[in-house]
Amino acid sequence: MTSSTQNKDILIEIGTEELPPKALKTLSDAFTSGVVAGLEDASLAAREVLAYAAPRRLAILLKDVPVKQADQSVERKGPAKKAAFDDEGNPTKAVEGFAKSCGVSAFDLEEIETPKGIWLVFRQEMAGKDTAELIPDIVNKSLAKLPIPKRMRWGASDIEFVRPVHWIVMMQDKQVIDGEVLGIKSGNTTKGHRFHHPDEITITQASSYAEQLHNQGHVIADFEARRAEVRNQAEESAKKVGGVVLIDENLLDEVTALIELPVAVSGSFDEEFLQVPQECLISSMQDHQKYFPVVDANGKLMPYFITTSNIKSSNPKSVRQGNERVIRPRFADAKFFWDQDCKVKLESRREATKKIIFQQKLGTLYEKTERVSKLAAFIASEIGADENQAARAAALSKCDLLSNMVQEFPELQGIMGSYYAKHDNEPDAVAAAMQEQYQPAFAGDVIPAGEIGKVLSLTDRLDTIMGIFAIDMKPTGSKDPFSLRRSALGALRIIIEGKLNLDLKALLNKAAEGLQHKIDANAAVDDAHTFIMERLKAYYQDQGINSDTVNSVASLNPSHPLDFHQRVHAVASFRDLVESESLAAANKRISNILKKVDGDTQVEVNQELLNEDAEKALYKAIINQQAKVKPLYAKGEYAEALSSLAVLREDVDNFFDNIMVMDEDEALKNNRLALLSQLRGLFLEVADLSRL
């Protein structure tokens, strides 16, 4: 086997019409991964891979790629010799077919000895192919696999891609790699900025691609470098007006994908618009205009914005004024919506929710808020919160969906409800709950800060989960149209992180009661409870807690999530103790012993039957620990209790080293089983350590 030690850089660029901005990074990552995988499959790994993505191009620079595959020895195993030739030495059809597929005669095949006898094989030295010969096919295959929901055709060609393709660059150092990609012959010419350098640029060598595009073509091809430039320019522009730019990371990605050469432009708007809730203006700037808002040190919106232009204008004042003209009617609309919405009370919109179907079998949005209102009052009473405020918040919770502002900016639901509630002089806690009802909205989002907000968010989720389970539309596989998994995890987070001592099973039973006039939900309570509690596995996995730690607690089926949480962390802490491994093994051993016993084990230990020192010592230790941990269990101080039980290790080990549990004497056997049952019971107050 021989190999070439010569390596060269390879450049691949696909030149297109403007690519979809929200998909640009995904397309670039997928294209790069596909090409890299293709090269690795051909045993041609690059030392370094640089991906480039700009509005009109996807490109990859692969550094130090071998110019040729290593030669390979190919061996194909054929039939056994005894099945290859008949008694007269003539080849059978089996061997002739194999030999033909290898391009040789049956008599040219070699023999090898194996433990199963002699077999025929075909051996051949295969010369490695030139990398340049393989690249076009690797590129085409990678492009064919890109995650493009809808491909398009252009001109008279049948070729399809996400956008029309105009040029292809494929180079190996200074040489063009000859080939055809998406119907276009490869070359070494690219194009620069659409306005600043629309002419062709000849790439002199693969490694100079990014530098030439920047210096000659006014294009920053590197997505991350361009992204950093957009951010830096926006931050500097905001400083000049005495503010701080508000940068949404998704918007930053989108803006980066829209421009080839970032040029920040700051603009301003009339201060009268600041009378409108700032979230409305920010939403309008970000979603409609792709502008970055500017806020002061306290996070209050200032009458400025930053936009990113794709050209260096000779008249920047004109660019600024153009953007200011565009934003004014948007803000005027927002102000109109706000003024109109404030003319009526939030509560007055509740009647209209009677016409909005939440779910066909579960009724209208009005009926849902009625259920949530009653359940919220119940939960509030359980945690000592204001029942009237909880019920009021639930009753008003969906009214802002009927407002002009939310219908124009759906992402402001809850936020606008909070503003309208404040305008109507609702209690502060009720107004805050309007917005907090949707928290946590995503992974890593905060839970509601206020008690009423916690109650409302939790109640709304439980009503939805219980209702959907009752009509048998629970999630299956990847389908979860009502986002019940996210709702369940959110409910658990509110209870656990909000330190709410609530019985989840009791709450679901109460939610099922509220659905009685629509559907009998009682039969679905157990399934709903199991579904919600199962989300805890992912919750603790994100915290780095072993699944068997969680399972040790889950096996006891606790219905208080906060109590579950305290137990899990107690077991996790216990596992750090040196005694934990031995005691976990002992619990497993005890569990296996007790499983083999027919019928119920003796409950009480008869001290008179304890005739061995080891069992007497263990009994005494158990009695001492029962007295110590009972008050700890009552207070939910599980970590301290398990830490205390760790002292049992020596007596437990001594017991198993010296005592025959399954004694021939039935009375002794049953007494020792009762002793082990008492020992196991001490740990089962927290978790089943036999699961560890």
The pLDDT mean for the chain works out to 93
Position 453 scores a pLDDT of: 98
What backbone phi and psi angles, to 5 degrees, belong to 155? 60, -145
Give the pLDDT score at 437: 98
**Coil, helix or strand for 72?**
strand
Q: How confident is the model at residue 1 (pLDDT cuts 50, 70, 90)?
A: very low
Tokens of 521: 């939900």
Alpha-carbon distance of 10 to 35, in angstroms, equals: 11
Identify whether residues 289 and 168 lie together within a single domain: no
The pLDDT score that the predictor gives to residue 3 is 40
- In three-state secondary structure terms, 180 is strand
434, 396 Cβ separation under 8 angstroms: yes
What is the DSSP track for 359-385? ETTTEEHHHHHHHHHHHHHHHHHHHT-
* 457 located within any domain: yes
Q: Of 392, 390, 518, which Cα lies nearest the Cα of 459?
A: 390
Would residue 567 count as lying in a domain? no
pLDDT at 382: 97
Is residue 2 predicted with pLDDT exceeding 50? no
Q: What is the pLDDT of residue 599?
A: 61
Q: Cis peptide leading into 440, omega within 30 of 0?
A: yes
pLDDT tier for residue 462 given thresholds of 50, 70 and 90: very high
At residue 378, does pLDDT exceed 70? yes
Which H or E run includes 461?
Answer: helix 451-470
Cβ–Cβ under 8 Å, residues 365 and 358: yes
What is the domain extent for residue 637?
580-691
Task: Provide, rounded to the nearest whole percent, the portion of the chain with pLDDT above 70.
Answer: 99
Whole-prediction pTM: 0.80
Task: Give me 222's structure tokens.
Answer: 């590197």
Q: Which helix (H) or strand (E) holds 485?
A: helix 484-497
Residue 191 falls inside a structural domain: yes
The single-letter code of the amino acid at 442 is F
CB environment 130-152: b (16+ within 10 A), e (fewer): ebbebbbebbbebbeebebeeee
Asked whether residue 333 carries a pLDDT value surpassing 80, the answer given is: yes
Residue 4 has pLDDT above 80, yes or no: no
In 3D space, the residue among 234, 236, 242 whose CA is nearest the CA of residue 303 turns out to be 242
Q: What is the CATH number of the domain that holds 683?
A: 1.10.730.10
Same domain flag for 473 and 490: yes
| Domain's final residue, options 197, 215, 233 | 215
Tokens standing for residue 73: 């020895």
pLDDT grade, residue 600 (50/70/90)? low
- CATH number of the domain to which 408 belongs: 1.10.3210
Instruction: Identify whether 247 is part of a domain.
Output: yes
**194 and 299 assigned to the same domain:** no
Mark whether 488 and 376 lie in a shared domain. yes
In-domain check, residue 165: yes
Q: In this structure, are 399 and 512 located in the same domain?
A: yes
Given this model, what pLDDT does residue 71 score?
82
Distance between CA atoms of 620 and 609, rounded to whole angstroms? 14
DSSP string, 574-641: HTTSTTHHHHHHHHHHHHHHHHTSSSPPP-S--GGG--SHHHHHHHHHHHHHHHHHHHHHHTT-HHHH
Give CA–CA dist 311/264, Å, rounded.
10
Residue 568 lies inside a defined structural domain of this protein: no
Q: What is the mean pLDDT of residues 329-353?
A: 96
CA atoms within 13 A on the CB side of 590: 28
Q: What is residue 598's predicted lDDT score, i.e. its pLDDT?
A: 62
Q: How many percent of the chain have pLDDT more than 90?
A: 81
User: Which whole number is the average pLDDT over 161-172?
Assistant: 96
Last residue of a domain, one of 322, 341, 360: 341
Q: Which residues contact 231 (CB under 8 A, 6 or more apart)?
A: 247, 252
Report the SS3 class of residue 52: strand
Confidence of residue 128 (pLDDT cuts 50, 70, 90): confident
Say if residue 662 is in the same domain as residue 592. Answer: yes
Q: Are residues 61 and 77 in the same domain?
A: no
Choosing from 188, 215, 242, the residue where a domain stops is: 215
**One-character DSSP codes across 125-192:** EEPPPBHHHHHHHHHHHHHHTS--SS-EE-TT---EESS-EEEEEEEETTEE---EETTEE-BSEEE-
Long-range contacts of residues 33-36, Cβ cutoff 8 Å, at least 24 apart: 33/142, 34/138, 34/141, 34/142, 34/143, 34/145, 34/146, 35/60, 35/62, 35/138, 35/139, 35/142, 36/62
How far is C-alpha 83 from the chain's CA centre? 56
In one-letter notation, the amino acid at residue 218 is: H
Dihedral of alpha carbons 59, 64, 67, 72, sign: negative
CA–CA dist 194, 243 (Å, integer): 33
**What does the alpha-carbon distance between residue 412 and residue 421 come to, in Å, rounded to a whole number?**
14
Beta strands at 152-153 and 165-172: parallel, antiparallel or unpaired:
unpaired
**Structural domain count, the chain:** 5
Any idea which of 4-8, 121-125, 149-153, 643-647 has the lowest mean pLDDT? Answer: 4-8
pLDDT tier at 285 (50, 70, 90 boundaries)?
Answer: very high
Residue 118 shares a structural domain with residue 161: no
Residue 494 confidence (pLDDT): 98
Please say whether the beta carbons of 287 and 411 come within 8 A.
yes
Over residues 28-42, mean pLDDT = 96
**Nearest CA-CA partner of 308 in 50, 55, 51:** 55
Give yes or no for residue 77 having a pLDDT over 60. yes
Statement to judge: residues 401 and 536 lie in one domain: yes
8-state DSSP, 260: S
Question: How many angstroms separate the CA atoms of 310 and 289, rounded?
Answer: 14
Contact 46, 65 (CB under 8 A): yes
Residue 230, pLDDT > 80, answer yes
Task: Work out whether the CA dihedral 532, 534, 536, 541 comes out positive or negative.
Answer: negative
Same domain, residue pair 420 and 437: yes
User: Nearest 5°: phi and psi at 160?
Assistant: -120, 140
Q: What are phi and psi of 399, to 5 degrees?
A: -65, -30
Structure confidence at residue 564 (pLDDT): 96
pLDDT of 392 higher than 90: yes
Q: What is the mean pLDDT of residues 117-134?
A: 86
Between residues 477 and 201, the one the model is more confident about: 201
Identify whether residues 169 and 253 lie together within a single domain: no
Residue 600 lies in a domain: yes
User: pLDDT tens across 415-434, in order?
Assistant: 999 999 999 999 999 999 99
Residues 134, 136, 138, 141: what is their CA dihedral angle, to the nearest 10 degrees? -140
pLDDT of 254 above 50: yes
| Phi–psi pair at 685, nearest 5 degrees | -65, -20
Report which DSSP code applies to 648.
Answer: G
> What is the spatial distance between Cα 659 and Cα 383, in angstroms, rounded to a whole number?
50
| Cβ 192 vs Cβ 198: under 8 Å | yes
CA dihedral of 480, 485, 491, 496, whole degrees rounded to 10:
180
Q: How far apart are CA 435 and CA 393, in angstroms?
A: 10
pLDDT winner (highest mean) among 428-437, 592-601, 627-636: 428-437
Query: Quick one: pLDDT at residue 602?
Result: 65
Question: Would you state the structure tokens that stand for residue 252, as one six-digit string?
Answer: 């930053």
Strands 165-172 and 175-176: antiparallel
Gap between the Cα atoms of 136 and 591, Å rounded? 63
Question: Whose CA is closest to 469, among 490, 485, 456?
Answer: 485
Residue 533 or residue 6, greater confidence: 533
Residue type present at position 183: G
What phi and psi values does residue 274 have, to the nearest 5 degrees?
Answer: -70, -10
Kind of pairing between the strands at 184-185 and 180-181: antiparallel
Predicted confidence (pLDDT) at residue 140 exceeds the cutoff of 80: yes
**Whether 143 contacts 136, CB under 8 Å:** no
Provide the 10 A C-beta neighbour count for residue 466.
Answer: 28
Nearest to 464 by CA among 375, 368, 396, 378: 368
Q: Is residue 539 part of a domain?
A: yes
Shared domain check, 248 and 382? no
The 3-state DSSP class for residue 9 equals: strand
